[in-house]
Chain A
Amino acid sequence: MDINVRKRSQAQLIQLRGPLRMGPAVDGLRQAMEEILNSGDTRIVINLAEVPMIDSSGIGLLVRFLASSKQRGGSIKLVQPSKFAIQTLRLVGVLNLFEIFDNDDAAVESFV
């Protein structure tokens, strides 16, 4: 999985490409989000447009860091999850925990 992190005004934007599943993908995203939170940033946008699959370890990671960022006054917002990603998040009852946006700009600006 490709993981690209960049600062976008008031948020950290994480662009993912590839399946988010157990192994290097989940480990890499965990490390990226730990670094963001440890640096003091709590506003995170994750673009899922090129993520065809999220498994339960990926879901666990997302909700755990959603809780961590919210506890520190921030949040994690999702951009363009695929229909299968939405289906998976809905099946396990966590879809409504996240705000979902059509594009990066809208997600970043929602933090204002």
Chain B
Amino acid sequence: MVDKSVAGSGSGFSELLNLSMSATPESVTAITDAISAILVKLEIPESKRFEIDLAVQEALANAVVHGCDGDPSKTIRCRLNKDQEGHIVITVTDPGPGFKPEALKDPHQPENLYGDHGRGVYLIRQLMDEVQFDRGGSEIKMWKY
């Protein structure tokens, strides 16, 4: 289930999408696809769009798996904005207890290369220009310049 609202303003800061979703993989796909469609309309270049799409996918997947323990009765919020400088800003908030980003392992270390998890936040940091964690790690804010 996805509740969607779209709004805008003339102040230079635009809210392009504000969504609440149930914590399911299907909702992740729906929101990622919705954001991708908006980025196409904004004429964001393909390479940059790909990087944003994947970062959004990773942030939402983390929120579902870790922030909600895969419980579809829980709700995740996702916002897509364009700030005064024209940067794309995406915020994903989950109801979980958060985590310590600094405690994450480096996926490039030999002992982690064949691991089946632990790459999502690393990828987000590589793909986006700025990443900020708030609310103890249960909210991630990502910028693409």
Partner-B contacts on A (CB < 8 A): 21-24, 52-53, 55-57, 59-61, 63-64, 66-67, 84, 88, 91-94, 97
Contacts and interface: CB of A to CB of B under 8 A. Distances in A.
Of the candidates B53, B65, B114, B127, the one having the most CB atoms from chain A within 10 angstroms of its own CB is: B114
Nearest to A54: B54
Nearest to B116: A60
Contacts of A61: 116
Contacts of B122: 91-92
A57 B61 CA distance: 9
Contact of A22 (B47, B61, B126): B61
Dominant SS at the B interface? Answer: helix
Interface string B30-58: 00100000000000000100100110011
B145 to A, nearest CB: 18
B30 to A, nearest CB: 11
B10 interface: no
Contacts of B113: 63, 93-94, 97
A52 B25 CA distance: 18
Contacts of B29: 21, 23
B120 interface: yes
A55 B61 contact: yes
A88 B54 contact: yes
A17 to B, nearest CB: 15
B123 A56 contact: yes
A28 to B, nearest CB: 12
Nearest to A84: B50
A59 B53 CA distance: 16
- 6 nearest A-B pairs in the assembled complex, by CB-CB distance: A23-B25, A60-B116, A56-B119, A93-B108, A64-B116, A56-B120
Given A56-B120, A60-B116, A23 B57 contact: no
A86 to B, nearest CB: 12
A24 B115 CA distance: 21
Given A53-B53, A93-B107, 7 more contacts: A21-B32, A22-B65, A60-B116, A66-B114, A92-B123, A93-B108, A97-B113
Nearest to B114: A67
B69 interface: no
Contacts of B117: 56-57, 60
Nearest to B24: A23
Contact of A55 (B47, B54, B64, B115): B54
